[in-house]
Amino acid sequence: MSLRLDAVLRDGGGERNEDGSATVAGVGVILGIIAIATFLGLQVTGLVQQHRAAAAADLTALSAATVQISSGVPEACGRAAEIAESNGASLTQCHEVTGGGPDAPGGTAGEVGVLVEVTVGSRSAVAVAGP
């Protein structure tokens, strides 16, 4: 019993000591900021990958269409794979399209072009080009 009485007297008569409570709140705020920064970083990374995929798809389609004019579709798709790889992307689809079809852009009825799909990271993009 005397030990307990000594502890009460040392504590200032049984009052609670709140030293360090701001530290706990500060750690919570810092962890929240880190979580938000991580989330935003992942979103920005995905956005950058999408823009890189779109740019690589456009360049790959234009290159493939240029080769298609003189050499045909098989050679065009081979060149498209090279161009995609040199831009840090991978070619996932390449084939000939005829304007007016379901996967060709509007206003191109009767024209023959090349459709390519490339992937950068987890994002992909499709582009069509032709004469």
Structure confidence by residue, pLDDT tens digits, 14-27: 566 777 778 888 99
Q: At what angle do helices 73-86 and 21-71 cross, to 10 degrees?
A: 150
Give the pLDDT of residue 110.
Answer: 59
User: What does the buried/exposed string (b/e) look like for 85-113 if buried means 16 or more CB atoms within 10 Å of the residue's CB?
Assistant: eebebebeebebbebeeeebbeebeeebb
Q: What is the pTM of this model?
A: 0.64
Q: Is the pLDDT of residue 10 over 90?
A: no
Q: Is the pLDDT of residue 32 over 90?
A: yes
